[in-house]
Structure formats: C-alpha cells, structure tokens
Amino acid sequence: MKPTLLNQLWRIIEETPTHILLSLDVRDLVEQMLLKLDKINPLTPEENCLIRDYLKSKTPLIRDLAYERS
C-alpha cells in the first residue's frame, strides 16, 4: 500500500467526527472510510481490498483514538 494512501486515510479518520467513529459498527465504519478515500483518490480493486483489511485490523485503534479526542 502506498504511503500517500495511508496518509490520506488517516487524515480522513482524524477529520471524521468522533461520534461517527464511535457509533458505527465495524462494517459501516470501514465502508464509510473507503467511500471517503475513494472520492479523494479513486481506488483500484486491489487497493480497496487491502485498505478494507487494514481498516478492519485498525478499528480498535481508531476507536481508542476517537475516544481520547472526546
């Protein structure tokens, strides 16, 4: 995965309101982040799959960071 893509993804996560990050289930959270990233930088099917797996594995971290922001 390209570093610029990861950077964009984490920027999107940081800009997403805390209540959204904490309230969505894993599937919906992953889908919403993918949609936002795809609007900024259209994803290939391979990138989509990689980022989907990455987000699923990082969901606890994303929620911990959101909780700390609140």
Q: What does the pLDDT profile of the chain (70 residues) look like in tens digits?
A: 889 999 999 999 999 999 999 999 999 999 999 999 999 999 999 999 999 999 999 999 999 999 999 8
pTM value > 0.85 = yes
Domain count, the chain: 1
Read off the pLDDT of residues 57-70 as tens digits, 9 standing for 90 and up. 999 999 999 999 98
By residue range, what is the domain housing residue 8?
A: 3-69
How high is the pLDDT of residue 70? Answer: 86
Q: How high is the pLDDT of residue 56? A: 97
b/e for 22-53, b at 16 or more Cβ within 10 A? eebeeeebbebbbebbeeeeebeeebeeebbe
d(CA 69, CA 57): 20
